[in-house]
């Protein structure tokens, strides 16, 4: 029952908002205004569900091929994160600068239900259903503003999504065929399937699009910033995690020692590090954050790679990934919404800046933040695993360097934010307080979550000096580098340098996408030409195939002689009726 309310309530609100078009203009305006101002109530039932429901599987047999949901160790924390993030984002919509807040609220609500479904699905069909709905509803968020960049971002998003969708669907069919319809059995089914490697490849590809794995990440730095700020927050905080959950649910952990584990690792690290220079060259804060998301998702994908390759580490890596995903979702959401806090909300500069700094420090993994717990747990989970991809060093030594990259990216973010003009306006104080709480609270929540999974997960000692040093050197080194770079950039010699003062034009947002776009458009021209040739060929063949005794010509003659339709129709009808009637009278008893 609670499940029905949790999923149905937001959808009901969406239906009401949609139906508002049937009301008189005034009433519709009022309803839409209410709907968007109190949109956050949409997530309340799901929040209650998250806190109270048991972990048993709930099945709805009549829906699709049988739909089922459950709150297991992966679903519950992620759903809780989604509830907080979506609720906060919905609350931020009225002042996000959108002209149609009700439409945006409705879309975000649909995304919420689908996203929650991705986390909570207990069978493959439900998972795929929610994944697809979320992907396509996400398109609405990306193009919402209707501006030219948003539409370009939307096109690229859509193309990538459809391609990813194809890979995911293929994988789903193969997994279902292997007997993995229930998510609890999917990974085992994949492991036992003769098409195991194909399935893993398809999963990597399909979910990699969503998770922003290099080189499938190209849509992300375009789409996340193009959406209105609250939508960016959910895109980058929660929806991006759908790909991760897909991996956690379906990949056969501990089954593929060399092949795919290494491939994952290589791509993950590539993404983790390459996102940094690309992001540093941007001057739109939301683009910088998007690159930070790519880098962070690279970090998460490393955990997946280890889990794939090292059977003993699989359980710990799964929990570490969930903890990390919760931490990153909240912190990234706070940062994105922070852009709006900075731009239009009523608070002064300093409190906003401090709270955003807290969220930033959390992403870097500095002591006394949620990231401190999450990063420590991740490092412990990968243990001393060594891979060719890491160049001989153990993974636990490589991972902090991602933290260094994060520091640099967030320093860049801070710089571009600080330069932004503010236009504070009297906004509801409750919303701002909620934001502040979400900025500070994750440290407790993430800590509690990690410790509740002990001994599978490892939690750091809050005040252990050794851990402090290990966790804060990326921050300190990064800060030193950032300050140094800033000083140099200020110098007269670098005054006109495009590298020292980047404007997102050296490496455009979406980096390689510009090349790919050009390739695709060239391929499109070629394809169109080929299609036209095919059209011509088809017409040609039809023209040449005229048989010696043309049926068409014969019909044409008949057509002329039967031009009085009423007559011919009636004749035909009378004939048929007579035949049927005669038959009925004669043979009724047969």
Partner 1 sequence: MTPDAQVDYSIVPLLMLLTSLLPAGIIFCLREDQVRWRTTLNMAGAVAKVGFVVALIPPVVSGDKLRVSMPWVPGVDLVLVTDAFSLFFVALSAGLWLVTTIYAIGYLEGAPNRSRFFGFFSLCVTATTGIALAGNLITFLLFFEMLTLVTYPLVAHRGTKDALDGARTYLAYTLGGGVVLLAGVVWLTALVGPVEFTAGGVAAVADLAAERPGEATAIGALLLIGMSVKAAIVPLHGWLPIAMVAPAPVSALLHAVAVVKAGAFGIVRVTHDLFGLSVAGELGLLPVMAGFAGFTIVYGSIRALAQDDLKKRLAYSTVSQLSYVALGAALVSPLATAGALVHIVHQGMMKITLFFCAGLFAEVQGISKISQLAGVGRRMPLTGAAFTVGSLGMIGLPPLAGFVSKWPLALGGLDAGTTWVLPVLIASTLLNAAYFLPVVYALWRPEPDDQEAAVPAVPPRRRLEAPAALLWPPVVTAAMVLLMGVAAGWTYSPWGLAEIIAGGSYR
Q: Are 384 and 374 in contact (CB under 8 A)?
A: no
Least Å from the CB of residue 589 to partner 1: 8
Identity of the residue, 206 or 377, whose beta carbon is nearer to partner 1 in the bound complex:
206
| CB of residue 68 to partner 1, shortest distance in Å | 11
Give 52 or 559: the residue with its C-beta nearer to partner 1: 559
Segment 136 to 165, residues that bind partner 1, using CB under 8 A: 136, 146, 151, 155, 158, 162-163, 165
Three-state SS at 232: helix
Q: Is 520 in the site for partner 1 (CB under 8 A)?
A: no
Cβ nearer to partner 1, comparing 37 with 155: 155
Tokens of 193: 């399937």
x/- map, 67-96, partner 1, by CB under 8 A: x-----------------------------
Q: Are the C-beta atoms of residues 485 and 501 closer than 8 Å to each other?
A: no
CA distances from 184 to 62, 69, 188 (A): 21, 12, 8
Does 182 contact partner 1 by CB under 8 A? no
| Residues in 5-44 that interact with partner 1 by CB under 8 A | 21
* DSSP 8-state secondary structure symbol assigned to residue 21: G
- The span from the CA of 395 to the CA of 2, in Å, is 43
578 forms part of the interface with partner 1 (CB under 8 A) = no
Q: Which of 412, 394, 159 is nearest to 284 (CA)?
A: 412
Each residue 476-515 as x (binds partner 1 by CB under 8 A) or -, in order, gives ----------------------------------------
Between 125 and 357, CB nearer to partner 1: 125
Of the listed pieces 26-34, 70-78, 382-390, 525-533, which binds partner 1 according to CB under 8 A? Answer: 525-533
Distance of alpha carbon 96 from alpha carbon 431, whole angstroms: 13
**Is 555 near partner 1 (CB under 8 A)?**
yes
- Is there a contact between 278 and 222 (Cβ–Cβ < 8 Å)? no
What DSSP element (H or E) covers 60? strand 58-60
Residues 6+ apart with CB under 8 A from 65: 125
The answer to whether residue 384 forms part of the interface with partner 1 (CB under 8 A) is no
569 binds partner 1 (CB under 8 A): yes
Q: What is the DSSP letter of 96?
A: S
Q: Contact with partner 1 (CB under 8 A): which of 19, 63, 480, 519?
A: 63
- Of 1, 423, 543, 584, the one binding partner 1 by CB under 8 A: 584
Closest-CA residue to 419 (of 501, 481, 496)? 501
Structural contact between residues 329 and 370, judged by C-beta atoms closer than 8 angstroms: no
Structure tokens at 330: 């909240």
Q: What is the gyration radius of the CA atoms in the chain, in angstroms?
A: 29
CA distances from 529 to 198, 207, 516, 526, 539 (A): 33, 33, 20, 5, 15
Considering only residues 98 through 127, tell me which ones interact with partner 1, judged by CB under 8 A: 125
- Rounded to a whole number of angstroms, the minimum distance from the CB of residue 98 to partner 1 is 13
57 touches partner 1 (CB under 8 A): no
Specify the residue for token string 């360097």: 401
Comparing CB distances to partner 1, the nearer of 120 and 507 is 120
Q: Return d(Cα 277, Cα 459) in angstroms, integer.
A: 31
Task: Assess 62 for contact with partner 1 (CB under 8 A).
Answer: yes
Q: DSSP letters along 544-587, please?
A: HT--SS-HHHHHHHHHHHT--HHHHHHHHHHHHHHHHHHHHHHH
Selected from 174, 209, 395, 438, the binder of partner 1 by CB under 8 A is 174
Residue 493 vs 557, nearer CB to partner 1: 557
Q: Pick the piece of the chain touching partner 1 (CB under 8 A) from 48-56, 287-295, 415-423, 545-553.
A: 545-553
176 lines the binding site for partner 1 (CB under 8 A)? yes
Which residues of this chain interact with partner 1, rule CB under 8 A? Answer: 21, 60-67, 125, 128-129, 132-133, 136, 146, 151, 155, 158, 162-163, 165-166, 169-170, 173-174, 176-177, 528, 531-532, 534-535, 538, 542, 550-552, 554-556, 559, 565-566, 568-570, 572-573, 576-577, 579-580, 583-584, 586-590
């Amino acid at each position: 029952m609670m499940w029905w309310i949790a999923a149905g309530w937001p959808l009901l609100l969406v239906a009401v908002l949609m139906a508002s078009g049937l009301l008189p203009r005034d009433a519709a305006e009022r309803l839409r205004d209410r709907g968007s101002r109190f949109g956050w109530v949409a997530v309340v039932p799901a929040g209650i569900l998250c806190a109270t429901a048991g972990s048993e599987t709930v099945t709805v047999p009549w829906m699709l091929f049988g739909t089922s949901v459950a709150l297991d160790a992966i679903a519950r924390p992620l759903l809780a994160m989604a509830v907080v993030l979506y609720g906060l984002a919905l609350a931020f919509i009225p002042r996000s600068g959108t002209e149609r807040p009700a439409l945006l609220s409705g879309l975000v609500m649909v995304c919420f239900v689908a996203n929650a479904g991705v986390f909570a699905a207990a069978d493959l069909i439900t998972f795929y259903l929610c994944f697809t709905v979320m992907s396509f509803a996400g398109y609405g968020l990306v193009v919402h503003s209707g501006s030219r960049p948003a539409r370009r971002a939307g096109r690229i998003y859509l193309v990538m999504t459809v391609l990813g969708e194809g890979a995911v669907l293929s994988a789903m069919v193969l997994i279902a065929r292997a007997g993995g319809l229930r998510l609890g059995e999917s990974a085992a089914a994949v492991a036992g399937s003769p098409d195991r490697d194909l399935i893993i490849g398809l999963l990597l590809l399909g979910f990699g699009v969503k998770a922003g794995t290099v080189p499938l990440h190209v849509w992300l730095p375009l789409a996340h910033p193009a959406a209105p700020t609250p939508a960016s927050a959910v895109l980058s905080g929660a929806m991006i995690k759908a790909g991760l959950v897909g991996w956690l649910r379906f990949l056969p952990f501990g089954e593929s020692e060399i092949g795919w584990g290494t491939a994952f690792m290589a791509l993950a690290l590539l993404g983790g590090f390459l996102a940094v220079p690309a992001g540093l060259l941007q001057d739109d804060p939301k683009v910088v954050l998007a690159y930070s998301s790519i880098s962070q998702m690279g970090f998460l994908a490393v955990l997946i790679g280890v889990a794939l390759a090292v059977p003993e580490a699989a359980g710990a890596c799964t929990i570490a990934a969930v903890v990390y995903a919760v931490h990153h979702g909240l912190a990234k959401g706070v940062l994105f919404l922070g852009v709006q806090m900075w731009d239009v909300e009523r608070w002064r500069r300093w409190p906003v800046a401090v709270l955003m700094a807290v969220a930033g420090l959390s992403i870097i993994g500095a002591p006394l933040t949620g990231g401190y717990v999450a990063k420590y747990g991740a490092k412990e989970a990968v243990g001393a695993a060594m891979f060719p991809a890491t160049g001989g060093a153990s993974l636990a030594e490589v991972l902090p360097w991602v933290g260094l990259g994060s520091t640099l990216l967030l320093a860049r973010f801070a710089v571009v934010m600080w330069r932004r003009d503010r236009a504070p306006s009297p906004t509801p104080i409750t919303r701002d307080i909620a934001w502040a709480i979400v900025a500070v609270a994750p440290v407790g929540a993430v800590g509690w979550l990690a410790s509740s999974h002990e001994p599978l997960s490892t939690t750091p000692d809050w005040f252990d000096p050794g851990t402090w040093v290990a966790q804060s050197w990326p921050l300190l080194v990064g800060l030193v580098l950032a300050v140094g770079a800033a000083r140099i950039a200020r110098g007269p010699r670098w005054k006109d340098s495009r590298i020292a003062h980047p404007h997102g034009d050296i490496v455009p947002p979406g980096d390689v996408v510009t090349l790919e776009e050009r390739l695709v458009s060239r391929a499109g021209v070629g394809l169109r030409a080929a299609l036209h040739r095919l059209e011509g060929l088809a017409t040609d063949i039809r023209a040449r195939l005229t048989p010696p005794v043309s049926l068409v010509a014969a019909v044409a003659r008949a057509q002329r002689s039967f031009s009085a339709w009423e007559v011919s129709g009636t004749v035909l009808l009378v004939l048929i009726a007579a035949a049927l009637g005669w038959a009925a009278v004669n043979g009724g008893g047969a």
